[in-house]
Amino acid sequence: MNIPMVDLQSQYQRLKPEIDAEIQKVLDTSSYINGPVVHEFSKNLAEYLGVKHVIPCANGTDALQVAMMGLGLKPGDEVITTSFTFIATAEVIALLGLTPVLVDVYADTMNIDTDAIRKAITPNTKAIVPVHLFGQSSDMEEIMAIAKEHNLFVIEDNCQALGSCFTFKNGDKKKAGTIGHVGCTSFFPSKNLGTYGDGGAIFTNDDELAEQYKVVVNHGMKVRYYHDYIGVNSRLDSMQAAILKVKLPHLDSFAKARNAAAGYYNNAFAKCEKLITPATAPFSDHVFHQYTLRLVGVDRDALQKHLTEKGIANAVYYPVPLHMQKAYQDPRYKTGDFPVTEMLSEQVLSLPMHTEFTEEQLKYVCDAVLEFVSK
């Protein structure tokens, strides 16, 4: 058997008639940039998320960068984020000349530690960027309370948790990415709502911010060829929007399929003490962008080799914490400063996770893992 991390081909075959028809429509109109389908998809996504504004852009990294540019953050402003994330989060902070302030994560959910956020706040802190890692929301109720207390912006990196729902203590529910001042997502092909190229979006309920973001993504231009700000060129093209428009109504069923696969894995690994299955926080549901195990007393390299030999894809997200990355060396931080992140980077292993599994494939993966760890 050959089991990829993400089975984009089977999903495409299942949705092919709809997707092909929408792509053909774009070809027939030749409206490749800012075509009507871009607006239509953005409107549909705003409706799905229950958010006032969706501003499409070229990718998730741009979404984060534009989110920060539109907030008027200035060089030297401190932005608190997690030490256990994909590099894009910290990259845009650094590129804009802002100062990334890293904090550790919780061992169980692997999301940002809210007590650590409180301790990291200084008079220069301007924003918090929680990352909803692997498909579940960070503790947004607590993070918004901290932000209110200290007058900070909250930018949700929701690239991995689109469609996930957060439940407040009073029972209210909101979609991840719509709780902070601004939310960001990515439509990279392997993301939960993935297109066949690059794409991203910014969400906000703030009318003024939304206007600002539309200007920033369009070269800082409100009136054509009059540039009031230094902006960027960041667009979702019509082809990608057409694909996303077809896939969006399936997003909840995608999450269901991912949860079914995660449930199968959880069951299979429940009795094995060397495998810690993913924990879900009580305030969030999980859309399993990744299914990530923690290995205890298992030789990870050898397990990876064993799985690869059996045709089972696997990956370590993420092997090097931000503060230990070569490009991000900083005298403020040293190895040992973020013990949970450092432990996780040594323990984690992600298994194939997508929407198209057969039970036979899941059994094959579980058997291969258990065969190795029970040796």
Please report, as ranges, the residues that interact with ligand PLP according to CB under 6 A. 59-61, 85-86, 88-89, 131, 157, 159-160, 186, 188, 198, 200
Q: Which of 123, 36, 110 is nearest to 338 (CA)?
A: 110
Q: How far is the CB of 297 from ligand PLP (least distance, A)?
A: 29
Q: What span, in angstroms and rounded, lies between the C-alpha atoms of 283 and 356? A: 27
Q: Quote the least distance from Cβ 155 to ligand PLP, whole Å.
A: 11
Range 357-362 contact pairs with CB under 8 angstroms and sequence separation of 24 or more: 357/7, 357/257, 357/260, 357/261, 357/264, 359/264, 361/1, 361/3, 362/261, 362/264, 362/265, 362/268
- In whole angstroms, how far apart are CA 291 and each of 112, 250, 265? 18, 20, 9
Smallest distance, ligand PLP to C-beta of residue 289, A? 7
Helix (H, G, I), strand (E, B) or coil at 52: coil
Nearer Cβ to ligand PLP (178/361): 178
Closest distance between ligand PLP and the C-beta of residue 364, in Å? 27
In this structure, the strands spanning 348-351 and 291-295 are: antiparallel
Residue 160 vs 314, nearer CB to ligand PLP: 160
Closest by CA position to 278, among listed 288, 100, 268? 288
Q: Which is nearer to ligand PLP, 81 or 361 (CB)?
A: 81
What's the farthest any 2 CA atoms get from each other in the chain? 68
User: With respect to ligand PLP, which residue has the nearer C-beta, 236 or 365?
Assistant: 236
Q: 156 or 285: whose CB is closer to ligand PLP?
A: 156
Q: Which is nearer to ligand PLP, 89 or 361 (CB)?
A: 89
CB-wise, 137 or 361, nearer to ligand PLP?
137
Q: Considering the complex, what minimum distance in angstroms separates the CB of residue 331 from ligand PLP?
A: 26
Closest CA to 316 of 345, 280, 274: 345
Please give the DSSP secondary-structure letter assigned to residue 230. Answer: -
Number of residue whose CB is nearest ligand PLP: 60
d(CA 137, CA 185): 13
From CA 84, how far away is CA 149, in angstroms rounded?
Answer: 25
Looking at the Cβ atoms of 60 and 70, the one nearer to ligand PLP is 60
Residue 89: CB minimum distance to ligand PLP, A: 5
CB of 60 to ligand PLP, least distance (A): 3
Q: Between 133 and 298, whose beta carbon lies closer to ligand PLP?
A: 133
Contact 349, 304 (CB under 8 A): yes
CB of 284 to ligand PLP, least distance (A): 15
Q: Which of 135, 133, 178 is CA-nearest to residue 154?
A: 178
CB of 86 to ligand PLP, least distance (A): 4
Name the residue among 351, 370, 317, 265 with its Cα closest to residue 3.
351
Question: Do strands 153-157 and 125-129 pair parallel, antiparallel, or not at all (unpaired)?
Answer: parallel
Of residues 268 and 278, the one with the C-beta less far from ligand PLP: 278
CB of 9 to ligand PLP, least distance (A): 20
Instruction: List, in order, residues 6 or more apart from 311 with CB less than 8 Å away.
Output: 1, 2, 3
CB hemisphere CA count around 135 (13 angstroms): 26
